[in-house]
Structure 1
């Protein structure tokens, strides 16, 4: 149904050709879903001082809940990347445990150089 407001995003499938076009489309998709910063920078693990300060400001349960949300967003981004590559490309990122890792693996192999 057109205009239904579906959150389903159709990702382009990367088959090993036209990486730069695919990358631009994927960045736009990640930005539209609020996931680009996570893909680009990865999951930030606060150092112990920052973590201690944050725990003082909020409960430990709240900090854990926030981390769970971040991990779920990362899993969503990783799933989008996995679904946006062909079966021939997928083995190259199959062992990536984060969206940033998968993104960087594809970038390092297919980016044409600066």
Structure 2
């Protein structure tokens, strides 16, 4: 989905999020106006990114992000639930490498032995 967000110029909002405007200082109306315009633009980009995320997920996953109002939060929830933590990703990666190493045919293997071992691993 990252290319979609980049093409729509929404990736920064999804990756970094945005902050709601803080209390405006009365000493600088110009700054307050600028903050309001930036907030409106960020809110619009956030809504677009959130819409894309919500449209992309299946009906079974949608309830996980239903009440979330910011695209970054929804993205983080999906990334964590779909990929897991760094530790679990590392463990899964090691497991897959181990399975891959076991798939290599040994010099003593016959084709039949190799095929049965690969069939067991895949299933």
Same fold (TM over 0.5): yes
Into which bin does the TM-score normalised by the smaller protein fall? Answer: 0.5 to 0.7
Question: Do residues 89 (structure 1) and 64 (structure 2) align?
Answer: no
Instruction: Name the one with the larger helix percent.
Output: 2
Structure 1 unaligned spans of 5+: 1-25
Cα displacement (A) at 1:46: 7.3
Larger Rg: 2
User: 1:61 maps to what in 2?
Assistant: 33
Q: Which structure carries more relative contact order (alpha carbon 8 Å, separation 6+)?
A: 1
Unmatched segments (≥5 aa) in structure 2: 91-123
Question: 1:62: how far off?
Answer: 3.0
- CA RMSD in angstroms comes to 2.3
Alpha-carbon shift at residue 57 of structure 1 (Å): 8.5
Q: What is the aligned counterpart of 2:45 among 61, 73, 77?
A: 73
Please, which of 101, 105, 109 is the counterpart of residue 73 of structure 2? 101
Q: TM-score, normalised by structure 1?
A: 0.64
